[in-house]
Structure 1
Amino acid sequence: MAIIRPFKGLRPQEALAAKVAARPYDVLSAAEAKTAAAGNPYAYYHVSKSEIDLPDDTDVHSQPVYDKAAANLQRFIQEGTLLQDTTPHYYIYKLIMDGRAQVGLVCASAITDYNTGIIKKHEFTRPDKELDRINHIKTTRAQTGNVFLAYNDVPELNVIIDHWQQSQSPAYDFTADDGIRHTVWVINDPATVQDITVLFAQKVPCTYIADGHHRAASAALVQREFQEKGMIKSAEDPANFFLTTIFPASQLAILDYNRVVKDLNGLSKAELLSRLDYDFTVEAIGHLPQQPAMLHEFSMYLDHTWYRLVAREGTYTTDPIGILDVTILQQNVLDKLLGIKDQRTDKRIDFVGGIRGLQELVKRVDSGEMQVAFALYPVTIQQLFDIADSGQVMPPKSTWFEPKLRDGLLTHLIA
């Protein structure tokens, strides 16, 4: 069963919360972070993307970057921009995007759960990305990035979290420049904290990583190093846990994650359409973008025209991986026709998150940068759970979660 703990959150003064809050470190470049932080000395990018405070030619994975992050974090603490709670709390984090709300519990999740598979994964991690976060955590002695977890709904937990929102005033409530509203409550009643801890231990057999595989893996590797060096003194040591926000599955939505390809692998437009007809029904649908309406349906944009592709029976299997639309597209189009064997490494393919809309696909193709685009029906949360339960991993770039948690509203100190 899931082990979670309250923690002494390091968080901004109420008046500075909107200024501190920053997009996740891994969704924007150093240049974009520098622009976002311009004129704002409180922006958490000074911690999460501290290269913005160093010369432009600085290696973003060099030790001076991590040292600067640690120095900036300490400056925020010393100046009172960030204050640490004196006793451990849970926190409620509510996000509203386009009228849809999702409410998560911010807590410290046990690294033992990650190591033993109670926290389930669905992606591979890359050693270089792990090393970046390892060095950041070790140097700052803080987990500054939140891991987004999901779990099957537990009605008793929903009741507690709903009641706290309705009966207590939030610590923070603001709308960011992208229109997403962020509201945070502090659960500071010891009895309620204990009830939540016990309910997770009794009612939640596992949780699933939705977003943040590298952050979770890095926290686990730092914990192992600290343990080997004798730096962890008790089972409740903060380094034995990592910063998570856990959402009930019923509230989550996964957006589509689409593909654009530079060329047709030597095929003409007519040849591609003809060969697609072996594995799909192919229908031209005009010049206006049209989102796929169901599983196994794809939209393709080629030469200023949109096409509907529907996978024929026999082009996919019913196992958790084989039934995914990203698998169907990879096996029957990207590999079979366009010669793309590995989406992770092939430079001819790029990925466009659904948050950007289908017009972004049109733009990329009409500009001449790409020649063809494919829009996919989103993976369902149940498909993600099924794959994680089976111990398998999803194909690359399968899921895009929105809205995203903001960095800086809650930091977990491990020393």
Structure 2
Amino acid sequence: MYQKRRLFLQAPVGTMVSVYRFAGVRPAPGEAQSIAAVPYDVVTADEARAIIAQNPKSFLTVSRSDAELPGLSPHDDQVYERARENFSALLSNGRLVKDRQPAMYVYRIRQDNDTFVGIFCALDTEDYRANRIRRHELTRYDKEEDRTRHIEAVQAHDGPVVLLYRDPGTLFSFIESLVATRKNPDAEAHTPQGGIHQIYAVTDPEALDEIERRFRDIPSLYIADGHHRAKAAVNLADRLRAAGKPADGEVGRFMGVLFSYERVKIHGYSRLLTDLGSYTTETFLAGLGKLYKVAPYGTVDGSGFNIPPHITHPEKFHVMHLYLDGKWYECARPIDPNAGPLDILDVAVLQKLVLEGMLGITDPRGDARLQYLGGARPVADLEKLVDAGTYRLALAMQPVRVATVLSIADASGVMPPKSTWFEPKLLSGLVIHSFA
């Protein structure tokens, strides 16, 4: 089976990734809780507007400045100008302060009885171009262009890109040791869900030298979250270079937070469909039954993020769970032992056989009949959306193994859209990489 194959491509000597220290822009003492915000792409403009109304200091005033300009296109020039103005205001009023010396920043997150530890650093856009920073998703031009214009307007990379690395031995434990004895973080923010996000600046030159040295043993990094933010940074550097302007130094880098791939989590990414096409409930289940073994599941724990399979040896099957007309069904199909890198994925089989084969959804990125719900949402949310009539049915997917994602990226494979929901999700506004 594909999961057992090792597709890791060893990079030639001299082509390892580079990590850099930088002078971060950070909340002034006492400001982190009010400034820290959810990522710009997990809230709608209306949701962002409501958050800003409750907390005008929120970094969403910068990252989702369109929320302050209802009635305008989110791509209007005024939206990017508002982002620039709001970012400048946070700096001028002292709520954000730029560090005096370059550093790296340990980011520790505690949530749901888990602890995640990563490190903020700057990364070279050249490593992205050379595929030493690898990706597993296609980016959409409109989203690329939006973030490219945004970072050009604010002259900063203000949304962290989450990247994974294969730990050659003791890299993670070394990073963790840098904060093990520090009692108080430099900044801390709490989320409504109970998460605790902490930032620790690492300024000791010897520690920074050691981090950089250890990462020189890492041949590749893997984007887990933030494909569009990374590509936007590359786009801006390319445009500056094409215009004959300087594109090296900080503007030729972007901000990432690096985590050991063994110490993050993936949830499944659910699908929601507005209709059954020409099918009735009975004919749809009958057609699905020719492709999968379909069996009633029974009661589902709606508070969970995933639905445990009933089938014996689920690792040998493509498994998904269907919610239709108030009932849950388990759908299982044996995995082809000769399947290729992408055909091993449950979402790829679903797309080919059901969404395209049965329902004619050939564009999973743009078809309005198909929507997605992030994995860190309880199963009960799927039931509510279907029961309310907003959608006709829901499909809850099993999580992909992190090692599988890395192997697909190593093989230059592209996963179907919305295949992975990585945890942890980082807050914006706690560390910013300015190149002004």
TM range (shorter): over 0.9
The answer to whether residue 306 in structure 2 is matched with residue 301 in structure 1 is no
Q: Identify the residue that residue 262 of structure 2 maps to in structure 1.
A: 250
Deviation per CA, 1:165-192: give whole Å up to 9, x if none: 1123310123222221101110010010
Report the counterpart of residue 252 of structure 2 in structure 1: 240
Q: Residue 31 of structure 1 aligns with which residue?
A: 46
Supply the distance in 2 between the matched residues of 1:181 and 1:150 (Cα, whole angstroms). 21
Q: Residues 134-173 of structure 1, C-alpha deviation per residue, up to 9 Å, x if partnerless? A: 1111111111111110111243322321211112331012
Instruction: Trace 1:102-121 onto structure 2 (pairs within 5 A).
Output: 102-121=116-135
- Alpha-carbon distance, 1:287 to partner: 4.3
After superposition, residues 216-365 of structure 1 pair within 5 angstroms as: 216-232=230-246, 235=248, 237-288=249-300, 291-293=307-309, 294-295=314-315, 296-314=318-336, 318-365=339-386
1:394 aligns with 2:415: yes
The one-character-per-residue Cα deviations of 1:4-32 (angstroms, maximum 9, x if unpaired) are 10000000012010100011111111211
- Unaligned runs of 5+ residues in structure 1 are none
Q: Is 253-262 or 37-46 further displaced after alignment?
A: 37-46
- Classify the secondary structure of the residue corresponding to 1:136: helix
Q: Is the 8 A contact 2:300 2:307 kept in 1?
A: no
Residue 6 of structure 1 contacts residue 89 of structure 1 at CA under 8 Å; is this kept in 2? yes
Residue 40 of structure 2 contacts residue 63 of structure 2 at CA under 8 Å; is this kept in 1?
yes
The CA distance in 2 between the partners of 1:135 and 1:86, in whole Å, is: 27
Match of 2:203 in 1: 188
Distance 2:229 2:186 in 1: 26
Q: Which moved more, 1:59-68 or 1:263-272?
A: 263-272
Give the 5 Å matches for 1:46-61. Answer: 46-54=61-69, 56-61=70-75
For the Cα contact (< 8 Å) 2:35–2:429, is it kept in 1? yes
Whole-angstrom CA distance in 1 between matches of 2:268 and 2:214: 33
Report the counterpart of residue 27 of structure 2 in structure 1.
12
SS in structure 1 of the partner of residue 367 of structure 2: coil
Post-superposition offset of 1:346:
1.5
Partner residue of 1:204 out of 218, 221, 225: 218
In structure 2, give the amino acid aligned to 1:297.
Answer: V
Letter in 1 for 2:31: L
Amino acid at match of 2:18: I
Aligned equivalents of 1:411, 1:92: Cα separation in 2: 13
Q: 1:41 and 1:364, CA in 2 relative to 1: closer, same or farther beyond 3 A?
A: closer
Task: Give the secondary structure class of the aligned counterpart of 1:355.
Answer: coil
**In the alignment, which of 403, 407, 418 is matched to residue 382 of structure 1?**
403
Between 1:222-231 and 1:382-391, the stretch displaced more is: 222-231
1:240 partner amino acid: G
What is the aligned-residue identity percentage? Answer: 35
Q: Deviations over 1:208-257 (max 9, x none)?
A: 00011110011001011222334327x5x101110100100111101110
Which segments of 5 or more consecutive residues in structure 2 lack a partner in the other structure? 1-15
| Counterpart secondary structure, 1:286 | coil
Q: 1:167 to 1:347 in 2, by over 3 A?
A: same
When residues 292 and 334 of structure 1 are mapped into structure 2, their CA distance, relative to the original with a 3 A threshold, is: farther
Equivalent residue in structure 1 for 2:174, among 160, 163, 171: 160
Give the aligned residue type for 2:284.
L
Change (3 A) 1:41 1:285: closer
Q: Measure the CA separation in 1 of the matches of 2:338 and 2:236.
A: 39
Mean Cα deviation higher: 329-338 or 243-252: 329-338
- What TM-score, normalized by structure 2, do the two folds share? 0.90
Cα distance in 1 for partners of 2:367, 2:48 equals 27
* 2:3 aligned residue: none
* Local SS of the residue matching 1:334: helix
Task: Give secondary structure in 2 for the equivalent of 1:33.
Answer: helix
Contact 1:292 1:298 in 2 (8 A): no
Structure 1: 4+ residue segments shifted above 6 A? none
Q: In 2, Cα distance between the equivalents of 1:220 and 1:51?
A: 23
Q: Is the 8 A contact 2:264 2:424 kept in 1?
A: no
2:426 to 400, 405, 408: 405
Q: What SS class does the counterpart of residue 30 from structure 2 fall into?
A: helix
Structure 2 CA distance, aligned partners of 1:53 and 1:369? 28
| Distance across 1 between alignment mates of 2:338 and 2:362 | 19
